[in-house]
Amino acid sequence: MTNSLLSNVNVETRDSFPEAVNAAMQYAFGNQAHHFEGTLFSQGGRLMFSTAMPFERFVQVAEADNVVVRKRAEKRDGEKVVIATEGDTPEDVASTTNRPIDKGHVKTITKYLTHASKLGQKYIMPPATLNLREDGVATIFTVKGDSTIKPAVVCLAQHARLEITDAQHRHEGIDGALRDPAVRNRLLRDGIAVMMTFENDINQVHQDFADASRTKAIPNSLVAVYDGRLPVNALALHLTRSCQLFRYTIDATAKGSSLSAGSVKVWNTSVLRQLVKYAGLNSREADDTWNDKFETVYGADRSDPRFARFQDYIVEFVDACTQDIPLFAKLARLAADDMSQVPKIRASGGGQILMTAPGMNILGALAHTIYLAVHKHGDDIQAWTKKLGNIDWSYGGELWQPYLMTDGKVSTSAKAVKDTVDHVEKKIGLAALVKSREDGMAA
């Protein structure tokens, strides 16, 4: 047996791994210690340990002392708290090891887990990084040898807690999901990958947190393609696969909602998501809120007849607009080799409203009204898409001047979209139809 000290952790080595495991089990049994099997390895000139923990054990041993609202890094049991709080000064934050908690982000993770579990869907929870700063609470049992990658067992005292370097929102989100009796039993079987560091130097802990946060965010357009669990994304992706208009015109990698004037693509998937949001609920609310409301109106399961009917309708609406709106008809006829024509088309008439995000929001809102006032009553929607085709959709069109166009630029505000939609509906007679339908129901 060989003993050594790794920073604040005692390391015991044995000639063989069975001997190390046996020593670890005896130690864990004798000390009522948590024990984790995994791999001891070298990274950046220091030793680290990787393992996996059941969700409940992860919630228990990982420190996330951030649920109490504080205005400064107040004391706790003689030591400063480890989580920064909004309003902290640089000096306050220097003594903490993590950022303020984002309750909205926690709620999103909890909902993601509970929703997937209730529906029996596959899900993924990325690995966590934890750090042990406390002395004398952990012993690592491993084997002798020169390799920098070895099997090992970490034994952690019952009272010990690991500080969260990266994963505080996952920790809180998992904790919230475990409190839901409808999914708790299933989640108790699941686990999360964990990497442990053994770092006493608070400056290095800060650096580790900063380094762990360097992950590049996925553009919203890519998320729309990858995350098909959300109805808004599933419907946007369905449009790209079902409608000729979107065959070559969509950029699935762009950030934001606007493409450059020289882009050979017309829209990105973020714009299609907005089109879906307006068509479904006449709203551009945040994803969580919008998807909750959508599932209430159209059903949570895609096999729900209400969901299927709306999905078929939005494809029918886009296809009818493609036939009746000259700009869409031109764009739909473009082959893959013809996309270099897009910048010229975009610039025609001083600019094209429907080639902007606000323009597609307007079209989506009109689609919503037509769905409720026309399609659901069994009437032909193309009588109305033909009227949309007769509108001048260029920047100079008379319908856009009072509300949407400001100093030659298209307004992106929700109010501008709403006012413009109301204006268009009055001009084409759709508002009168809605009123007559409402009066008929009231009678």
pLDDT in tens, 333-377: 999 899 999 999 999 999 999 999 999 999 999 999 999 999 999
Q: 260: Cβ–Cβ under 8 A, 6 or more apart, which residues?
A: none
* Per-residue model confidence as pLDDT tens digits over 304-339: 999 999 999 999 999 999 999 999 999 999 998 999
- DSSP 3-state assignment of 298? helix
Chain segment 50-59, per-residue pLDDT in tens = 999 999 999 9
CA 115, distance to chain mean position in Å, is: 14
Q: Tokens 């993590």: give the residue.
A: 98
Distance of CA 393 to the CA centre of its chain: 34
Percent of the chain with pLDDT over 90: 58
The structure tokens listed for 85 are: 């709080």
Distances, alpha carbon 24 to alpha carbons 6, 18, 141, 173, 356, in Å: 17, 10, 6, 32, 64
Name the average pLDDT for the chain. 85
Give, in degrees to the nearest 5, the angle at Cα 374 between 427 and 411: 45
* pLDDT 10s digits, 180-235: 999 999 999 999 999 998 877 666 665 665 666 566 666 666 666 667 778 998 89
Residue type for position 220: N
Cα separation of 205 and 215, whole Å? 17
Query: Does 74 score more than 70 pLDDT?
Result: no
- Pairing of β 149-156 and β 138-143: antiparallel
Reported as a single tens digit per residue, the pLDDT across 251-283 is 887 766 678 888 899 998 889 999 999 999 999
What pTM was estimated for this model as a whole?
0.67
CA dist., res. 276 & res. 268, Å (int): 13
CA distances from 146 to 13, 37, 78, 218 (A): 12, 20, 42, 40
What is the structure's pLDDT at 63? 77
Q: How confident is the model at residue 419 (pLDDT cuts 50, 70, 90)?
A: very high
Paired sense of beta strands 62-63 and 162-166, if any: parallel
What is the per-residue pLDDT for 91? Answer: 44
Please, are residues 278 and 284 in contact by the beta-carbon 8 Å criterion? yes
SS3 16: coil
